[in-house]
Amino acid sequence: MKRFEGPLKDLWEMPDLPNIKHLTWDWWWWLVMWPSEKHPGRSEQLMVLWSTKETPLISVNNHLWAAAKKPNSTEENLLVLPGMVAGWYYDGEKMYEPLVLQESRIATISSKHKDWDSKSEHGGAVFALCEQLLSTGMSEDREKFWMRISSDKEAINSGSPKKFNIQMTPWNSALSKARRTFQKYQNNLGYDILRIHGCKANIEIDNKQIEGTAYLQKVRVQAPSVPWYWGILHFSDGSYLDWFLPHLSLLALSSSDKPWQLKDSLELPLRKAGLFHDAKRQRSEKFTKLKFNKIKSNYSTVNQKGEKEQLPRFEIEMWNARTMVVLSVQAVSRAHWSFDQPTRGGLISHFCYNEYPLKVTGIAIEDEFGIRTLDDWEWIHGNAEHSWGILH
């Protein structure tokens, strides 16, 4: 596969849904993973997000962001938005959180713009309008994405790399074709998600060259979201696995960012979904039957306040008529983003979004051809999410 496929021009345009105050939220989200030299079985990971939100004021990790300045641009195929760029970096041992946290207007430009020397409608870029280099984009020939990130001074002073320069190229047709999911409810509530499940990544960290993989999402959400579990795995042979479990939970009412709470004891799944792009069998499997369990593990991390926190282990089973996946993954670190948004009646709504770099401790995939285990892959890299609270 030489070029990325799918509705790629939608990456540089905003969805055709009217903004809703307090609810509309747009972001571009890259997750990049590569093998850890210090800890075999773990991966180093970089997450970067360009975001804009329709709200008068919101606090992001105690940073007050007056987000709702109106978009402006008088030029076709160019939009300038109020924005923030946020990211973290995990070096296989230490979490740099945040690696980047910069409030800045951000621009999204398509290769259809008059100053972009191209006849293609697919290329484009998103970048922060500030002195710090914070950009991502795709070439007009659809052969590569790029991401260029300069770390915040505070992160550099604590030991992080100064710069990341990454090029993403197609991996295979199952993973590197952009796929869109769209749902519109009444009163313009809904969501619009464009995903690229996997790319190969050529990563330059300061002056060091590494090979890894990457995942891309462009998202618009304009509805209150319930708590969810989500996770992805990239396999050395070009396979991909994910799971998604939105659920009702008392944690929807939580205003705390603590990873273990009494409200965490009761969860009612609203949907069960999994996807396996199987490179060896050359087919994709969807799962609607899923068992999920989050367990306190023996692993721990130290948060930004210097407090020790136990990390979770996730036990997952997914199956359909011909394939069954049994999986055990261990969180090896935690990054979290805390959002507090003033809302109606002087109330404050709260949302906590957690990301966990994973180590796969066990896996069995059984189908009509036999059973595959950890020994069947050179490496498996992954990340999991758990969110709670509701912004409204």
Mean pLDDT computed over 227-236 = 96
Name 74's Cβ contacts closer than 8 Å, sequence gap at least 6. Answer: none
Q: Tell me, what's the pLDDT at 6? A: 96
Q: Tell me, what's the pLDDT at 69? A: 61
Residue after which a domain boundary falls, among 205, 223, 241? 223
* Position 181 confidence tier, pLDDT thresholds 50, 70, 90: confident
Q: Does the structure show a pLDDT above 70 at 214?
A: yes
- From the list 163, 118, 125, the residue with the least C-alpha distance to 144 is 125
Give residue-wise pLDDT tens across range 371-388.
999 999 999 999 999 999
* Position 233 confidence tier, pLDDT thresholds 50, 70, 90: very high
Q: Does the structure show a pLDDT above 90 at 117?
A: no
Q: What is the pTM of this model?
A: 0.95
Q: Tell me, what's the pLDDT at 53? A: 87
Q: Tell me, what's the pLDDT at 72? A: 65
Give residue-wise pLDDT tens across range 314-325.
999 999 999 999
Q: Does the structure show a pLDDT above 70 at 208?
A: yes
Q: Tell me, what's the pLDDT at 89? A: 98
First to last CA, the chain: 42
Domain extent for 367: 225-392
Annotate 11-36 with DSSP letters as a single string.
GGS--SS---TTT-EEEEEEEEEEE-
Q: How many CB atoms lie within 10 A of CB 25?
A: 23
Same domain flag for 207 and 240: no
In Å, how far from its chain's centre is CA 355? 8
Give residue-wise pLDDT tens across range 63-112.
888 765 666 665 788 889 889 999 999 999 999 999 999 999 999 999 88
- From the list 27, 25, 89, 81, the residue with the least C-alpha distance to 58 is 25
Same domain flag for 262 and 179: no
As given in the structure block, the two tokens for residue 80 are 């300038």
Task: For residue 73, give Cα distances in angstroms to 123, 169, 236.
Answer: 19, 31, 43
Q: How many CB atoms lie within 10 A of CB 222?
A: 24
Same domain flag for 115 and 25: yes
Same domain flag for 175 and 89: yes
Residue after which a domain boundary falls, among 190, 223, 256? 223
Which carries the bigger pLDDT value, residue 51 or residue 63? 51
Mean pLDDT across the chain: 91
CATH number at residue 301: 2.40.370
Among 161-170, 237-246, 302-311, which stretch is predicted with the lowest mean pLDDT? Answer: 302-311
Q: Tell me, what's the pLDDT at 70? A: 62
Same domain flag for 257 and 338: yes
Q: Tell me, what's the pLDDT at 272? A: 96
Q: Does the structure show a pLDDT above 90 at 154?
A: yes
Annotate 29-82 with DSSP letters as a single string.
EEEEEEE-SSSTT-EEEEEEEEEEE--S-EEETTEEE---PPPB-SSTTEEEE-
Same domain flag for 101 and 202: yes
Same domain flag for 244 and 187: no
Same domain flag for 152 and 298: no
Among 12-16, 61-65, 212-216, 388-392, which stretch is predicted with the lowest mean pLDDT? Answer: 12-16
42-51, 218-227, 334-343: range with highest mean pLDDT: 42-51
- From the list 95, 123, 97, 98, the residue with the least C-alpha distance to 109 is 123
- Total domains, the chain: 2
Same domain flag for 278 and 384: yes
Q: Does the structure show a pLDDT above 80 at 303?
A: no
Mean pLDDT computed over 35-47 = 94
Q: Tell me, what's the pLDDT at 164? A: 98
Same domain flag for 16 and 86: yes
Q: Tell me, what's the pLDDT at 222? A: 85
Residue after which a domain boundary falls, among 189, 223, 257? 223
Alpha helices in the chain (DSSP H): 153-157
d(CA 258, CA 65): 23
Same domain flag for 206 and 229: no
Phi, psi of 18 (to 5 degrees): -60, 140
As given in the structure block, the two tokens for residue 356 are 């966990």
Same domain flag for 111 and 208: yes
Which carries the bigger pLDDT value, residue 254 or residue 187? 254
